[in-house]
Structure 1
Amino acid sequence: MSRSSTTVRCMTRPSIEALNQTPLSDEVQLPGLKVERHSRILEDLLRGESLEITLTKLVELAEESREGMLGSVMLLDSQAKQLQLAASVSLPDRYVKAMDGLEIGPRVGSCGMAACTGERVVIEDLFTHPNWKPYRELVRATGLRACWSEPILSGEGEILGTFGMYYQTPRSPEHDDLILVNECAKLAALAIERHRGEERDRQLAAIVNSTDDVVISKNLNGVIQSWNPAAERIYGYSQGEAIGRSIEMLVPADRRAEQREYQKRLRNGERIEHFSTVRCTRDGQLIDVALTMSPVHDAAGKIVQIVEVQKDMTSSKRSERELRETRRQHSMLLSNLLGAAFRCHIDEDFSIELISEGIEAITGYSADDFRSKKVRWITTVDPRDIGRLRSEIAQAIAERRPYQLKFRIIHRDGSLRWIWEHGQAIYDESGIAIALEGYATDVTDREAATIELRDREQRYRSVIETANSLIVCVSLDHKITEWNSGATRVLGYSRSEALGQNPYQLFVEEASREAVIAEAKRVNQGHPLKGYELSCVTREGERRSILWNATQLIDGEGKAVGHMAVGHDITELKAVQEKLIQSARLAAVGEMVSAIAHESRNALQRIQIGVDMLGFDVPENSEMVKELDRISRAKDDLKQLFEELRSYAAPLKLEFCDCSVAGVWRQTWANLESEWKGRDVTFLDSSQMDGGTSVDVNCDIDPFRMQQVFRNVFENALAACEDPIEISVHCREGDIEGDPALLIQVRDNGPGLAKEQQKQLFDAFFTTKPKGTGLGMAIAKRIMTAHFGTIGVRNNSTGGACVELAIPRKQI
């Protein structure tokens, strides 16, 4: 056969029978494995090496025998009709993983076809053969080109697996190659069959050693040859003590004639099945056994052994006695139960089959009334509950689970009683429900207590939920056990989110946490807490001032279980108080500043008159003129300082009107012409750009005060920026806490503000200008606050500062 051939040759095993006649010699190398290599495999089998090790070594020796050959052994899973890889040494991992679990078939590769047909398969070029078409990319990637596969057959001709030989070049087998693959398949079959035989022996031994029944083998003379652990446990003789002794050591004297008769029958080939007798243990105790004796034949059919299987019936008979006693006790127990045990049919009436005497205390009717069908159980059930009772029992039967029901019955005396019933269906061998068994008891008093408790709980819950305060209950292990709607409203966490959480980690600031825990510990010990002010952090990160009162919680046995804290949100109250204090302070400062300004105004006027008079006497070009200018500017700065102080300290009296905010900022910019005239300034007004804007710029404002705001913002921008300057005003719709508002941004192209400057910009007397009182932006903030608006600052993403104002549309 040429090397370019791509045919599949299925070669029958008789074609190589002649090779088996070749004598083996240590000096002569067979066409297949060397003698010493063949012997090493047999030695591994004799030593009891694992199947994996033996097959792997077989592949290694085969690869040593043929240069460039890559071998594999695959075992057949006959049920799944798949080949599982058992041994491989040199085949690429990618190929091995892809082939593991290969389904067999007449057109599946080489090994798949060999395992399917039971014949040798030789494929000389994997790239071109149709059997390998589905795996062509795999063999190309792994470099494999030829594959010959020999089926591994048992002595009975059963296909056990395949032995594969791979090459990385196209090639056909030579005579020696066929001898090698045949030898390897035979050795693999020997290893696999030995492994399976050993596995069967281990399983049989495990069954004998793990069974609870006594298994004894003896020769035809009754001498014990094997003795399992159950025999040791039941009779008390160890294996070493029992083997070699007569079986009659276990037979009481009065039963030995019976034993010898059975022995005689067994030697004649008869089997003795399931008879009851008595045996004797090592300590002389007599036990009841059920015994089976069977003869064991050799391959020629000759009886060589007898096997006894004995089942200890002592415990079974003891169980029967115990069962009778248990039934007696159950009968006594049922007669003394407060409730009633029952068994009833699954029919329209739930007809009673069995019922205990306790039913009379529940219904007023005797057990005989129900057993005789004088009273039907279903007629005692309140008609309002019959439908639900039937439905829930039917559902429990359908789902094959127990049921628990609480329903009402009408007592014989006409009173309404609550019954709790627990039961389940009983099924026959075919899985059909044939009866209900269970227990029923009167829970009328308990139900009344439950209703009262539920009503109290509802009243308690109503009080908790309608309270305007925060109510939080905390257990001793720092877990929230109660959380009302007031707590949700103030702190932002829902009840489901808060329950089970640690309150000190949930809303207490870290700096205060240790002190708060210490106070909670005191409360848990019985010391009430009153008027404890605490800054709490809401879910959104806002800080709220809460005034807490707390008291210890105890259970029904008087044991401390935690504490309840009631809190009142005083954040707004404190803010109002601070505003009042600030207003009072500002009023006092205003009065003082007004007095100082009044007195200082006269002095400043006199200074100005003096400067003007001196100006007439001083030559125009002299240095004295410059000094007089400095005095005049200093006087103006001092006057401005007094005016700003008076404006900052004086109470704000606003006169609101509906007017255009855009008109205010335009007028302000025009009034500042002296500040920006002569500089390279561009002022962009969004309401005048691109044909105007759709935003309504009218709001209820005090135009004069709002001019002060824009004046301070524009002056700061002009002072911060170097030419060329660009100042732009942008506006859009928005809201303040849900109320409509006009949002305005004033942006510049200056250097922007550092984070610390942004924090302090609206503080009194803070300034970023070389000359300035630091009151301008503080006054602007007061004016915006008086308008119920906001003012803030940030930096633009492109550079420069951005002042943001929010002005309510309407003043309430």
Structure 2
Amino acid sequence: MDLTSLNQLFTFKSIFESLEDAVICHDIDFKITDINPAAERLFGFTREQIGKTVCGLMEKAVFEEYEHLVNTVRSGAKIQGFRTVRRSITGEDLHVSITISPITDAEQKLIGISQTIRDISDEHIAEEQQATLAAIIEGSEDAIVSKTLDGFITSWNNGAQEIFGYAASEVIGKHITILIPQDRIHEEDYIINKIRAGKKIEYYKTVRLAKDGTEIPISLTVSPVRNKQGHIIGVSKVARNITAQKLADEKQAALAAIVESSDDAIVSKTLAGIITTWNKGAENIFGYSENEAVGRHISILIPPDRLDEEERIISSIKRGIKIDHFQTIRISKENRKIQVSLTVSPIKNSDGIIVGASKVARDITAQREAENALKSNSQKLMILNSIGKSISEQLDVNVILQQVTDATTELTGAAFGAFFYNKINEEGESYMLYTLSGAPREAFEKFGMPRNTAVFHTTFSGEGVVRVDNIKKDERYGKMAPHFGMPDGHLPVVSYLAVPVISSTGTVIGGLFFGHPEPGIFLQDHEELVVGVASQAAIALDNSKLFEEVKTLSLKKDEFIALASHELKTPLTSMSGFLQVLQKTASDGMNKVFLDKAIRQVDKLNILINDLFDISKVQAGKLQFNFEQLDLGALIGDICETFEQTVPGHNYIYTREGDLVLHGDKMRMEQVITNLIGNAVKYAPHSRDINITAVNRDHEIIISVIDYGAGIPAAEQVHIFSQFYRVREKDRNISGLGLGLYITKEIIERHGGRIWVESEPGRGAAFKFAVPVFNTHTNI
């Protein structure tokens, strides 16, 4: 070996000895030929292992892996940077990078293997940390972006894509201002200046733009990026989308504003009852300021007799049960009782655990007062209606006045009440006591009757109501000669109420007077109530007076009609007789015609007089009936035969079915049938056929009289059984008073039956009535 080769050998040996990487050399049979100091430091190998095989220094699995690598090298390949794990001298697993190279002789024949092992544990750890950081960055819902100090984007994670809509390929290399609204560009200068100064910016709230132009509220955390030397070379930004948080904040702010501006008291408390929040509404309702209430127990608002309510409320809240619209009473700072409606809800923490209660208290004092007033007014109206109905149904003056006096005395709470008629004697004084309630009549004997004095003048003159809390202190008191005050033994009167009763003509009928021995009994409500009753009483008294006058006139009318009917029937009977005598002696010719017409007119007049006489008896309740067993079918047959003889020119078609015997008045039933058939003839003069049917159905006899004339409009049908009513167009040229159907209806109803009409204009009319076979009205 020449000197140069020797020098090279020493140089390589020096390098071999000084390498930081472990080097182990062995021959093709795995016998160790050389080991450097680094191998000794890492794995504890010494030069004493030279000549031994490598497998003795390795675990079986490790050697098998190594043997496989060596076989690869033997095939001519080189292994470089193969990563694996080796056990250190201390027993620690080391991450290493192995490079395996062939050792050849001068003829390039493989004579051994060189194994260079580098400890890359620190690098491996760094890589793992980098991978972990990368995974965190990619998995983050926040946008994590890096950029140069000049503002150009260098990295872009999935969170950034989700928030801003850009893919990484769309933004990397572009300037960060693509995300910044025009009016916020100045913020970038502010951020970069902070970063250049080495300062971190945390939770900077601003707005950035998404790809579609949507403005997104974000919270920015910006940090400087430094190289190994600590120089700032870029910027890292973490942007969190705070849209939901902003909405929540806005909602919270809105709720806070609502709570603070609410007229209701909104209070929160712990489960132990300690007040934790207190709004303006609570201050206004209960009088305590926030400083005075917070920290104190809720019982400061609860009356002592209602403390058990708080225990029940808290018990429900602890079970998660909400309490809605619980109406109760609470007390204010000034110890004033307040009607409230409570809604109490449980307060839960972030873990869902109930930690307190929220109370909303609405002051319903005014509402309850309004409800009570409404209830009171409703009761008053019911009372007024009841009294009004009661007295309006009465036409007896005595009953009306006593009912009014009794009712108003009770309603006002008076010790006594009285009605005085405003009767004037020769001296012009009111003197007549008519009704009294709550006291015996003897109580007024020593006092006499009210006279036209200062106290009573207002009432009897109709000037208005007098209501005095203490009549003895009234300036008009003491001017009632001869007593000049209340006489001994008279009812003690302190509270006094007097209301005039005035008729529709303005005349003062009298006055309602009320008294009580205690002061201040009669209130505005009482006054209004009595005024209402007094006005109804006045109407009832007017009606009573009118009824008496009408009853008198009605009696006179009935007397007149009865007398007139009697006086008219006498000459008519004579005239009818004379005309019939002349008719028998008259020969054919004009005399005979005139006599026939005269007799027919006398018969019509006789029918009209009979109708007037009947209706007078109907209204007086004196229409007489003589009930007996009556074959109605035979009676109708007889009437039809009479019509065939007296009113020829029509076909009277009569059909009957079943037993037609009933208990009835023969004369009155004949009057009914005759009237109905006569109307059919009268109102259907051009109709040839008139159908009469009589049938027995379900213990009822039903009679129908049908014509085929002009018919009756529906609007007229509801009125035709009224007295003096006649169908307008149809009756224009037909004589009559419109009493026949009214009397017919009365007769049928007095037989326990009913009557009706069925008709269509242009298709005739069917008058029908039904009477029971066993009449229960035989006592009429």
TM range (shorter): 0.3 to 0.5
**Structure with max Cα Rg:** 2
What is the TM-score with the length of structure 2 in the denominator? 0.40
